[in-house]
Amino acid sequence: MPPASPIRSQLLRRKPLASFQEDAENGQLRRTVGPFQLTMIGIGATIGTGIFFVLNSAVPEAGPAVIVSFVIGAITAALTALCYAELASAVPVSGSSYSYAYATLGEFAAYAVGWCLLLEYAVSGAAIAVSWGQYLNDFTDRLFGFRIPSAIAAPPGAGGYVNLPGAVLILLCCLLLVRGAKESALVNTVMVLVKLAVLALFVALAVTGFHSSNLHPFAPMGMAGIGAAASTVFFSFIGLDAVSTAGEEVRNPRRTLPLAIICSLAVITTVYVLVALAGVGAQPWRAFRGQEAGLSAILTQVTGDSWPGALLSAGAVLSIVSVVLVVLYGQSRILYTMGRDGMLPALFHRVRPSSGTPVAGTVTVGVLVAALAAAVPLDELADLTSMGTLVAFTVVAAGVLILRRTAPGLPRGFKVPGYPVVPVLSAVFCLYLICRLPTHTYLLFAGWMVAATAVYLLYSRHHSRLQPSETEPEPTTYQA
């Protein structure tokens, strides 16, 4: 057999598992986050625009059957969460699915996944910040009769020239992250508890206006509509992987990471299904189309008072802040890990000793995402985010299968139940949702991957830390 070409060898070289452990032990990040705070990071990264905003676009696609769409999204997320839990306990480092792909599929696959994660975090952060202005306007209008002019509160294509509130929000979150992970986790925990209380209030009040007639016809668009809405609402479940980006900043990561991932998903799924059921039961499904600050509008309709809607808008404002905070955190840690591996410039790996945070990378992320939020409308972002997330989730499922074969003795704090059925089903569900995405999303994603490939070939493969002597096959037995 002829020897592999140098480029092919570079594309397929895997980072040794021992190197991940060395990087974690010698890293500059501080282990200051415990199980409860990490669970709040998972919830904070996930519950936000998905439930406050996506109902407005998903319900018109599926009708009341959007509840089924949320269940499909939840099943997909649950299967993937179990796969994340195993890999996070086996490779407890920053980098999330980028690191897992580097250990199982090789350098180029890891690099592509890293770009998918950058797409997920950057675009979702911008998309969430875009919707923040809607709830901020709803809140100030209800309390003070004042609205921020659309010209500076919406991006081009959505009725404005620049989304100033979204850009300001991102930069403020960036400043908080620069102070430190511990401080950011504390602020996030407070905001998550507030938004869970507000959503509980929504469910309690919305069910008082529940009418079974609003559930008929249940699936006016059929299974095609349910599938399309499932791909849309999956945007509501992105953020779970943010838990695994904190692998080098949590105490006892082999136990804490899987526990936080599973607990986060349990809370998120319960909240989503209850809110979706209460929402479509309280309002005819056709009324959701084009409705701004939808949950607030539902409460105003049900109660006849303005204060519940104002309270919900205030909760949405805080909710979206927490999501943006965690999304920026996750992206800066992905960049930190890729910078350490030489996949990106070393700037992203630099940590300020006084705060223990990658300041330069965090600031860079903040500026770029703020610019994206200011200039791009939300409708062009959500499906593209789902695409990047689903590709990364598929790779995680494959990673579980591969690592079980190549490193069966590797210590794992958690193992996927029902192996190999669960990771296979996870990949199948992800691929199903990918197939339901619109054509223009494929074109945008293809353009993103072409750009990623160009950067890899021109820069990353030449600056990778891996040398031929460091990429020998992994031993198949490990001592716990």
Asked whether the bond before 358 is cis by omega within 30 degrees of 0, the reply is no
By the 8 A CB rule, do 211 and 280 touch?
no
Rounded CA gap, 434 and 138, in Å? 34
Query: 253-282 and 181-206 are packed helices; what angle lies between their axes, rounded to 10 degrees?
Result: 30
Token digits of residue 363:
């600031």
CATH class for the region spanning 37-465:
mainly alpha
Q: Rounded to an integer, what distance in angstroms lies between the CA atom of residue 40 and that of residue 326?
A: 10
Give dist(CA 102, CA 459) in Å, integer: 17
Write phi, then psi, for 250 (nearest 5 degrees): -115, 150
How far is residue 353's CA from residue 335's CA, in Å, rounded to a whole number? 18
**CA gyration radius for the chain?**
22
Per-residue pLDDT at 184: 79
DSSP state of 160: S
Angle at 394 between CA 393 and CA 397, to 5 degrees: 90
Calpha distance 193→30 (Å, rounded): 25
Q: List C-alpha distances in Å: 262 to 35, 40, 42, 257.
A: 11, 12, 9, 9
Q: CA 317, CA 136: separation in Å to the nearest integer?
A: 6
Q: What backbone phi and psi angles, to 5 degrees, belong to 357? A: -125, 150
Inter-residue contact 396 to 415 (CB < 8 Å): no
Alpha helix stretches (DSSP H) within 13-154: 17-26, 35-46, 49-52, 55-62, 66-90, 96-104, 107-144, 150-153
**Sign of the dihedral defined by the CA atoms of residues 38, 189, 47, 349, in that order:** negative
User: Rounded CA gap, 83 and 233, in Å?
Assistant: 21
Residue (of 43, 6, 31, 103) closest to 237 by Cα position: 43
Query: Which pair of tokens denotes residue 323?
Result: 């999501």
For residues 46 and 124, give the distance between their C-alpha atoms in angstroms, rounded to a whole number.
10
Burial class (CB in 10 A: 0-12, 13-18, 19+), 409: exposed
What lies within 8 Å, CB to CB, of 244 at 6+ separation is: 84, 87, 88, 96, 97, 257, 261
Asked if residue 426 lies in contact with residue 76, where contact means CB atoms within 8 angstroms, the answer is: yes
pLDDT averages per 10-residue partition of the chain, 480 residues: 59 79 71 83 76 74 87 85 86 82 89 87 79 76 80 72 85 85 80 86 85 86 86 74 78 84 88 87 80 65 70 78 84 87 87 78 87 72 76 89 88 87 91 84 89 91 72 40
Looking up tokens 């958690």 gives 414
Q: What is the pLDDT of residue 455?
A: 92
CB 98 within 8 A of CB 106: no
Q: Give me the pLDDT at residue 451, please.
A: 92
The pair of structure tokens assigned to 47 is: 């519950």
Identify the three-state secondary structure at position 476: coil
Q: Measuring CA to CA, which residue among 390, 393, 396 is closest to residue 435? A: 390
